[in-house]
Amino acid sequence: MKINLVAVGTKMPAWVTQGFDEYSKRLPRECQLQLVEIPAAKRGKTAQPEQWKKDEASRILMAIPDNHHVVALEVDGKNWSTEQLSEQMQNWLSDGRDVSLMVGGPDGLDNSCLQRASQKWSLSALTLPHPLVRIVLAEQLYRAWTILQNHPYHRS
For 3, list phi and psi in degrees, rounded to 5. -115, 120
Q: Can you state the percent helix, strand and coil of the chain, rounding each to 5?
A: 45, 25, 35
Tally of helices (H runs) and strands (E runs) in the chain: 5, 5
Question: Any binding-site annotation on 109?
Answer: no
- Give the number of other Cβ atoms within 10 Å of residue 79's Cβ: 10
Question: Any binding-site annotation on 85?
Answer: no
Question: Any binding-site annotation on 104?
Answer: yes
Report the alpha-carbon angle 21-25-30, nearest 5: 135
129 neighbors 106 (Cβ within 8 angstroms): no
Question: Any binding-site annotation on 126?
Answer: yes
Question: Any binding-site annotation on 33?
Answer: no
Find how far residue 71's CA is from the centre of its chain.
Answer: 7
Question: Any binding-site annotation on 86?
Answer: no
Binding site feature residues = 73, 104, 123-128
Binding residue ranges for S-adenosyl-L-methionine: 73, 104, 123-128
